[in-house]
Structures are given as structure tokens and as C-alpha cells.
Amino acid sequence: QASASAALQELSGDADAAVAVEQHWIWEFFSYAASEFLWIGAWTAVKITALAMAVGLVLGLGLALMRLSGLFVVRAVAWFYIWIVRGTPQLLQLVFIYDALPYIGLKFDSFTTAVIGFSLNQAAFSAEIIRGGILSVNKAQSTAATALGMGPVLTLRRIILPQAMRSILPGVGNDTISMLKLTSIASIIFVNELTFRAQQIVGQNFRFFTVFAAAGLIYLILTSAISLAQGWAEARFDLERERRPRGETLRRMFGFRLGRKSAAEIAAPAPSLAPAAPASGTETAPAGEDVFRMLATSAGGAAKRGEPFVVCRNVQKSYGDRAVLKGIDLTVARGEVVVLLGPSGSGKSTFLRTINHLEPMEWGEITVDGRHVGYVPAPGGGLRSTGGLAKARADARIGMVFQHFNLFAHLSALENVIEAPIRVFGMAPDAARELGLKLLAEVGLSAHADHLPHRLSGGQQQRVAIARALAISPKLMLFDEPTSALDPELVGEVLQVMRKLADAGMTMIVVTHEIRFAREVADRVVFMDEGVIVEQGPPSEVIDDPKQERTRRFLRVMERAAPTP
Ligand SMILES: Nc1ncnc2c1ncn2[C@@H]1O[C@H](COP(=O)(O)OP(=O)(O)OP(=O)(O)O)[C@@H](O)[C@H]1O
């Protein structure tokens, strides 16, 4: 009757009455929005969401890794779980868990049951988001980490996940917001959360609009906070952002310094003494070779120079039924520089990758400094891969440089260089930083120590990659076409660094198409074709006076393709 007469009053155009109703409506809306009763419900919703997201993400990471496993059974179990959970309504899952757990002797209150239900549901969705994030990271990133002796867990934690976050975060943000709102369905198992409390009020006073609008406002405030947190986290993992040393922002604002100096500031000479900086991309490595020489001599002992260091016997490898290496025999002496030449697809890169066990070989034997890298004798003869491959690779101390640099995209040049020394070899951070800065100075990149890889030219990136490989104090350096991805004007700066390293006495195996470099720097040139060594010898023989027709043909093609000076 009362509401009918109010409606009549409005319809009759009684303005005062309408204002009175409106004022009353607004006051009521805000008082509900500020009411402790509703906010306690909101806090319950927040707690369920926070706990379930945390547990769901951890379980989701596990499921994502299972989905990426090489074992079919493991993949199938994860797939089945995700299929069941994603394919059934969450409301039914909650009721099922609420009713089923007591049957197996697990009695929880409704809040805990809701957390379990939401966690298990979220795990399935997170798994696919995380799997997508992991797949979005270039495989070359984990190859580079593996070559530095990083194990799978370290690689996942330090290299893959920080980069995957860029694609994972928007999905996780979405799911968090959805879950917060969906906690309302937990009222079915008597969880006293926000919507449930709003319903309780409405059940007493029938003020549907004001009470639910107030609850809606509270949801909006909470979801906005989640959006803000998501934005902050996305900015944190944004590779494009300008890297500033800690305290730099405040220093810029107030003109004083907090925290330590940036790497570039430490490494760069005093401004008044510094020579004019050459244009980016054309700068060259300084003449000093102290660090290189120190590394090369500590790598193997000058006294043992010339002794067999890398010994490969009858190395065989196939991809499917395609034989790629057909029995390679090669011995590289300590301090020797061997250049592998050969047409595309002849197996050079594959051979290089078998030396540090990035690729397993099927038959044969390789020793580096007298030790197998990650192989032990098999009971029936031959060799088999060991567990603990990462440690074997780390112990072997083989540095590798890749065609596409494979720098860790989320780490600065200096961080790239010191990652393995600190995380794999347990070097003290300050000592690693000092070594990293020396190496970057040696390759002419002091000024770029704090820069992320995407801000460097190809030639600079490759020089950082060389410094990174040298930071693990390698006994042997493998170069896999280090200049093939570079513009011609950037090739020289990388070759110059390699030349200095060779001069310093480092043992090096280099796959390259740079005939001039091979002629000038190599102690020995090995020509490969179709998985076999066709001929080998000093450059003056293999390049200038090849015995085999296949070598001559290849060199003629290379000569024609070489850019005119
Ligand atoms: N992961 C892989 N799976 C299947 N086939 C592969 C794989 N890696 C290499 N191959 C094949 O093995 C052969 C040798 O490749 P490899 O990269 O070792 O040759 P390469 O001499 O280094 O050639 P390029 O100079 O073009 O790099 C090629 O036919 C290549 O297609």
C-alpha cells in the first residue's frame, strides 16, 4: 500500500515527494556501501580469491609443465584433469566437493571447502594460461641457458617465467576479477560472502536496488584494485620499459643519489678523460687483451698447449631416419682455433652442439679435457646419457655463442653476463659484477652495461653474448655462425673480438662462412659435407689449395657470394 501510494504521488507529479524519495535513496545507497556488514562479506570474497588464486597458480604451473612433458602419460593425466574441470559448471563442482569430501573423511568448514573448490577450478584455467606463456618464449632462450650450465628448474625460474609473465599476466588478471565476482556462487554451500549478505539484507527490507547497487559498488572498488595491481605487474615485466638503477627516479626528482651507481657509470672512464664516443654500432673493442689472455691461460694451462683437448671419435647422429653426422673423427688441440666450413645442411651446427651435449649423439665418443660431457659407459658397451646433465655441462665449462645471439631478453647486458657465474657457479655478486664489467669493457660495451638487448645493435648483442660465454671461464669456446645474422657492416666488430680471443690462446671451434676470417685466424680448417669430414688442414691448403672437388666447388660458390670490398 505504502509503495503504491508513493508511486501514485510520483505519478501525480509531486516534485517534493520525488526529491524526498531520491534523497532517501542516495543516503541509503551510500550507507549500505559503507556498511560493515557488507564489507565483512567482501573481505571473505577477497580471502577466498587470494588463497584460491595462489594455490590455483601453483597447481596450474605444475599442470602446465605436465602438459609440456615429453612423456605421453604425464601429458594425458594433465589434459584429462583440465578437460573435466573446464567442461563442468563450477557450481556443480562446489556442491560435489562439499558433499564428497566428508565421505572420504575430510571435514572442512564451508570457507575452506570454497577455497579448495575455487583452487582446483583455477588450476585448470591457469595451466593453459601459463602453458601459453611458456610457449610464447623463444626456445633459443632455454638453449642459451642450457649451454651456460643452467638446469631446467633454474632456467624456468630465472629465464622462462620472467619472460612468460608478459603473456601470463593479462589472463591471470582476468581470472582474478572473474573469481572475485564468482565467489558469490559459494553461497550455495553457505559461505557468508558479499552477495549472500546483500541477499540477507534484502530478505528483510526488500530494498533490492539500493542494497544490490551498494554491493555492486563494493565489487567495482575491489576489481579496480585488482586491475591496478595487474597494471603495476605488467609494467614491472615490460621489456620495453626504460631500465633505471634503484633510486634513480628519486635522484632525478630531488637531485640526490640513493642506491649504488649504475654499471655504466662505474665502468665508464671519467667524463673529462673519456675520448669522444664513436657512433653506436661502429664502436670497436679496445685493444687491451688482459682479461681474454687471463681467461685463455687459466682455461687450460699454457704448458699443455698443443695437447689433444677435444677428441671426437666416430660421432653419429640422425634426425628420424636422416643421418646428419656419419662418423666424425676430429681432434682439437688445446689453444687451437678450428674453423668448420661446409654447405648449409652439412651438419656443422649439429656437430658443434653434440660437443657440449646440447644434442645427444647416437653413437661414438666425445671427450673434452679428457672427460665425457654428460655420458657414462653403458652396461652393454658404448655410452649413455647421465642424469645431472646440467652439472656435467657446467663442469665442462664450454662457452657457446649462437647465430641469433640468444641473449636473455629480460636482462640487461651486465645481468646477462653475470647470470650464470652467480646462479650456476656460485660467484659472489660483487665479484661477478666486477668480472662482468671487465668483460663488457673488453668487448667495447661498457656504456651499454645497463641496456636491455633490444636496445643494442646486432653486433653489440653478439659481443655481449661472447662476454656472457666468457664469464663462465670457459676452457673451450664454440661459435655457431656468430656473424651470419649480422648486417655486413657489423660483422667486423664481432670478428675483431673473436680474433683477439684466438690471439689470446683460447681453444675455439668456429662454424662460419667467413672465409677471410678462416684464412687469417684458423690454425686448421675442416670442410664438412653431408655429415662427413671431406678434408682438413691448414687454411693455406684447404682454402687456397683444396684437394677435393667438393671443397673447390663450395669455395667457388662462397667466392661468388662474397661482398665486393
Ligand atoms: N632439431 C632438428 N630436427 C630435425 N632435423 C634437424 C634438426 N636440426 C637440424 N636438422 C637437420 O639436420 C641437417 C643438418 O643441420 P645443421 O644445422 O647441423 O647443418 P649446418 O651445416 O649447420 O647448416 P647451416 O649452415 O644451414 O646451419 C639439416 O638437414 C637440418 O635440416
Q: From ligand 1's centre to the CA of 344, what distance in Å?
A: 8
Residue 178: band (very low, low, confident or very high) from pLDDT cuts 50, 70, 90: very high
pTM of structure: 0.81
**pLDDT tens digits, residue range 486-539?**
888 888 888 988 998 988 889 999 999 989 889 989 999 999 999 999 999 999
Q: N- to C-terminal Cα distance for the chain?
A: 99
Q: Which residue has the cell 636482462?
A: 411
Q: What percent of the chain has pLDDT over 70?
A: 85
Give the closest residue (by CA) to ligand 1 atom 4. 319
* Nearest alpha carbon to residue 478 among 330, 365, 302: 330
Q: From ligand 1's centre to the CA of 512, what distance in Å?
A: 14
* Signed CA dihedral, 465, 467, 472, 474: sign only: positive
Q: From ligand 1's centre to the CA of 345, what distance in Å?
A: 5
CA distances from 559 to 207, 480, 484, 485, 555 (A): 87, 21, 16, 19, 6
Q: Residues 446-475: what's their mean pLDDT?
A: 93
Q: Answer for the pair 440, 417: CB distance below 8 angstroms, yes or no.
A: yes
For the cut 50, the answer to whether the pLDDT of residue 256 exceeds it is no
Give the closest residue (by CA) to ligand 1 atom 16. 347
**pLDDT tens digits, residue range 334-350?**
999 999 999 999 999 99
Our answer on whether the CB atom of 324 is closer than 6 Å to any ligand 1 atom is: yes
Our answer on whether the CB atom of 349 is closer than 6 Å to any ligand 1 atom is: yes
For the cut 50, the answer to whether the pLDDT of residue 419 exceeds it is yes
* Nearest alpha carbon to residue 393 among 475, 513, 324: 475
For the cut 80, the answer to whether the pLDDT of residue 90 exceeds it is yes
CA dist., res. 151 & res. 329, Å (int): 30
Predicted confidence at residue 270, as pLDDT, reads 32
Our answer on whether the CB atom of 484 is closer than 6 Å to any ligand 1 atom is: no
Grid coordinates given for 404:
641469433
Nearby residues of 338 by Cβ (< 8 Å), 6 or more positions away: 330, 332, 508, 509, 510, 522, 523, 524, 525, 526
Our answer on whether the CB atom of 342 is closer than 6 Å to any ligand 1 atom is: yes
Our answer on whether the CB atom of 72 is closer than 6 Å to any ligand 1 atom is: no
Highest mean pLDDT among 18-22, 271-275, 459-463: 459-463
Residue 300: band (very low, low, confident or very high) from pLDDT cuts 50, 70, 90: low
Our answer on whether the CB atom of 348 is closer than 6 Å to any ligand 1 atom is: yes
For the cut 60, the answer to whether the pLDDT of residue 236 exceeds it is yes
Predicted confidence at residue 559, as pLDDT, reads 78
Predicted confidence at residue 525, as pLDDT, reads 95
Choose the residue to mutate in 318, 322, 350 for probing ligand 1, maximizing ligand atoms within 8 Å of C-beta. 350
Give the closest residue (by CA) to ligand 1 atom 12. 324
Our answer on whether the CB atom of 321 is closer than 6 Å to any ligand 1 atom is: no
Q: From ligand 1's centre to the CA of 560, what distance in Å?
A: 24
Give the closest residue (by CA) to ligand 1 atom 31. 345
Predicted confidence at residue 484, as pLDDT, reads 87
Q: Which residue has better confidence, 34 or 20? A: 34
Q: From ligand 1's centre to the CA of 1, what distance in Å?
A: 86
Give the closest residue (by CA) to ligand 1 atom 8. 350
The neighbouring-strand residues paired with 492 are none
**pLDDT tens digits, residue range 105-160?**
888 888 999 999 999 999 999 999 999 999 999 999 999 999 999 999 999 999 99
Q: Answer for the pair 260, 468: CB distance below 8 angstroms, yes or no.
A: no
Predicted confidence at residue 247, as pLDDT, reads 55
Our answer on whether the CB atom of 346 is closer than 6 Å to any ligand 1 atom is: yes
Give the closest residue (by CA) to ligand 1 atom 13. 345
Q: From ligand 1's centre to the CA of 319, what distance in Å?
A: 9
Whole-complex ipTM: 0.95
**pLDDT tens digits, residue range 355-390?**
999 999 988 999 999 888 888 877 777 778 887 889
- What is the overall mean pLDDT for the chain? 85
